[in-house]
Structure formats: structure tokens, C-alpha cells
Structure 1
Amino acid sequence: MDDQVLAAMARWPNVPAVHGWLSLSARGQWRLHPHGRGWGAPEGGPEEPGEAITSPQIIAFINRNYLADDAGRWCFQNGPQRVYVRLDGAPWILGLETDAQGRPLLRTHTGAGYGPVTHWWLDPEGRLYAQSDRGAGLVADRDLARTIDALRAVDGRPLDDWLERPAPAGIAVRLGGGAETPLGLVSADALETTLGFIRRP
């Protein structure tokens, strides 16, 4: 967190938090909701899609001051004010890269390294989630196929073989030559509880 943010929090400790103004898309894009209706209108109207934040300086500021509270609610600490974030995917949106030796590695939407992964999860829609000490991550759709290709069962079989089974159970997988990690199925209803985050704080 930025020093000036910490100083502002100490100087004004009781600024009320806000909701509905900021969201993180399933592709890792920060979006501003200028009418504060990112959660929908008070009378139950639809959620605003929001406007993409494109300023590199603002994006970098949000990235540096993005964190979670003890309840699994993610927010941007904007000076003394906490701005809670609507998560359209997960707290971290993950991309797949390769290191200098050609090994696959995961990076978050903020540009930070992600891992080691302690658990992988697939939902009924085919989205791939990961868990690490940093919190829950969703593999971005643009990198999903490559990540699935990079995951192997511990016996070396591709993940597609497991997915083609009529009723697959959990298995252990490796990303590249990494550590053995469990992979299981998670329902949409159990996702937030299982991975420990709140999409609409």
C-alpha cells in the first residue's frame, strides 16, 4: 500500500466505505460506475456495466492499493476511503506466461506473480479457478485453453482425458513441472464459500 494512503488512513480513520462505484471484470479490467450502481439500482434495477478505466496512472494506483479484509471482501483503499469492488470473476484474474526456461507461470491482472497454487477448481461453465496464499484467482478466458493444455495429471495424461469422463472426480495435476496440486469441481452456488471471497461485498 502507498505511504500516502497509509498516512491518510491514520489522519482520517473513520471515513465511510462506499459500494457500487468500482468493479473488476472477468478479464481483469477495472471499471468505474459513475452513478454508484455497480450493484444495481436501490429499487432493484440492473447492474451498470461501468466504464473502463484506461489511465495507466490510475490503474497502477488501484493495483498498488487493492486488498481484502478478513471477511473476504476486496477493496481499493483510496486514501482514507475504502472502495469495495464488485468481482465479476474472482479477486485475481490470471494470465499464463512462460519464464526464461519456458516453464509456465501465472501472473495476476496487476502484473504480480501468482502462486504457488494450492488447489485448482473447475465450475460447471468450464471456468478454471485457482487458490493460493494471495487469494482466489480466475484464469482469464483468453488464456484458458493454454492453461488447460499446460496442466497434466500426475501420470502425465492431458487434462482433457479427465474432462471427457462421464462423471469425473477430483485428481492431482501439475502445471508444467510444478508441484502436485489437487483439482476438483465446484458448483456456482459453492464458489464463494469454497474459495473464500465475496463477489458483491
Structure 2
Amino acid sequence: MEDWVYRALEKWPNVPALFGWLGLDRRGRWTIRGEIISRPQIIDTINPNYAADEHGRWYFQNGPQRGYVTLESAPLVLRTDGAGRLITHTGQRVDRAEAGWLDEHGALWLRTAHGPAVLEGEDLHWVLERLRGPRTPVDEELLAEALALPSGAQTTLSLRFDDGTLALGRLDLEAAPQALGFVREPQPLSGE
């Protein structure tokens, strides 16, 4: 969080939180009431002040007010930068992951130091270039076999990072929040 946020929290400690206003779509775009936020100044304010609470609810801390974020997919959406490195939609670099899965649609889910993340869509070539399996290169048949496994199963695939490989499991899209510890649609808890 930025310093101005902490100063505002000290000055106004009991501002009620907002629910249902802010969102993050599956492409890593911020939304307000379903409309994409396109102003760079607003995005640059949200990104460094985005975090999770102890219940797995992700929020934007806007000074003294916390705005909980409805997630279309994961709390963090991964992209590749110009050098082929992974970065979160908030600009944090991801060099390694603690665990990884493929969902039934072929999207890559990672547990990173920054939080649960997904890479899907335009940057899936990054995954395909780094996939390893019992046969190299990984072909469509081997990938289809992995995607056909039940959620929770271990695949024969791994993902190569600069410092080693990460075994990949299978995880259904709907099982991701529970498995990775996040809430897609945050609600107030009693007493909030």
C-alpha cells in the first residue's frame, strides 16, 4: 500500500467498505459497475493499493475506504512483458510459482508470491513454449489427455521456469477459489 493510504486510514479509521461496485475481468481490466475503467490515472491508483484480507477477499484500499473486488476469474491476471517474463496485471514480476494447474479450458493457474493468478488467452503461447511432458515437444494429444483428467489429478506435464520445473495438476475453474484460497464475490461478514 502507498503511504497516503496509511495516513487516510489513521485519520478516518471506520469508513464502511463497499461491495459490488468494483470488478476485475478475466483479461485483468478493472471495472466499476461493469464498465471498464480506462483512465490510466485511476488504474495507476488501484494497482499498488490492491490486496487480500485474511478471508481471501481482494480489495482496493482507496484511502480510508476499502472497495471489495468481484473477480471474473482470478485475483491476479498474468501477462507476458516484451522480454517474455510473466507479470501480473498490477505490474508485479512473477519469476517462479509455488504450485500450478491447468483448468478444463487450458488456462494456467499459478500460486505465486503475489497471490493466486491465471494466464489465459493471448499469452498462452508462453505456456506452450515451456510445457514439458513424457514426450517432447508436448503435442495436442498429450495436452488433451491432461485436460481430460478429473479436477485434483496430477498431469504428466510440467512447466519450465528459469530455475527449474513445476509439476502441473488439473483444477476445474469452479474449484479454483477454494483450492487457492480466494473469494470471487466478496460479501460483508457479520459485524462489517
| CA–CA separation in structure 2 for the residues paired with 1:189 and 1:29 | 21
- Partner letter of residue 7 of structure 2? A
- Deviation at residue 174 of structure 1 after TM alignment: 3.1
Q: Which amino acid aligns with 1:32?
A: I
Q: Once the two structures are aligned, what percentage of the paired residues are identical?
A: 39
Separation in 2, partners of 1:68, 1:107: 18
1:194 to 176, 179, 183: 179
Runs of 4+ in structure 1 over 3 Å off? 158-161, 166-169
What displacement does 1:184 show?
A: 0.7
Does the 8 A contact of 2:23 with 2:30 survive in 1? yes
Once the two structures are superposed, the pairs formed by residues 1-80 of structure 1 within 5 Å of their partners are 1-33=1-33, 50-80=34-64
Q: How does 1:121-136 map to 2 (within 5 A)?
A: 121-136=101-116
Q: What are the equivalent positions in structure 2 for 1:83-94 lying under 5 Å apart? A: 83-94=67-78
What 5-or-longer segments of structure 2 have no aligned partner?
187-192
Of residues 155, 158, 175 in structure 2, which corresponds to 1:173? Answer: 158
* Paired residues of 2:2 and 2:49 also in contact (CA < 8 A): yes
Aligned twin of 1:152: 131
For residue 91 of structure 1, what is the amino acid of its counterpart? P
For residues 94 and 65 of structure 2, the distance between their equivalents in structure 1, rounded to whole angstroms, comes to 27
Instruction: Determine if contact 1:148/1:159 at 8 Å carries over to the other structure.
Output: no
CA deviation map 1:163-199 (0-9, x unaligned): 1337554235233544221201012332111111111
From 139, 162, 172, the counterpart of 2:119:
139
The AA in structure 2 aligned to 1:30 is W
* Letter matched to residue 4 of structure 1: W
Q: Classify the secondary structure of the residue corresponding to 2:145.
A: coil
1:147, 1:80 → 2: CA distance?
39
1:65 partner letter: N
* Structure showing the higher helix proportion among its residues: 2
Output the amino acid matched with 1:71: H
CA distance in 1, matches of 2:161, 2:65: 41
* 1:150 shift after superposition: 1.9
Structure 1: unaligned runs, 5 residues or longer = 34-49
**In the TM superposition, what is the alpha-carbon distance from 1:125 to its structure 2 partner?**
2.2
Number of residue pairs matched? 180
Query: Structure 1 CA distance, aligned partners of 2:67 and 2:108?
Result: 27
Structure 1: how far apart are the matches of 2:82 and 2:38? 26
CA RMSD of aligned residues (A): 2.0
Contact 1:172 1:180 (8 Å CA) reproduced: no
Query: 1:110: which partner in 2?
Result: 90
Q: Closer, same or farther in 2 for the Cα pair 1:183/1:193, shift >3 Å?
A: same
Larger CA deviation: 105-114 vs 162-171: 162-171
Kindly indicate whether the alpha-carbon contact (under 8 Å) linking 1:29 and 1:52 is maintained by their aligned counterparts in 2: yes
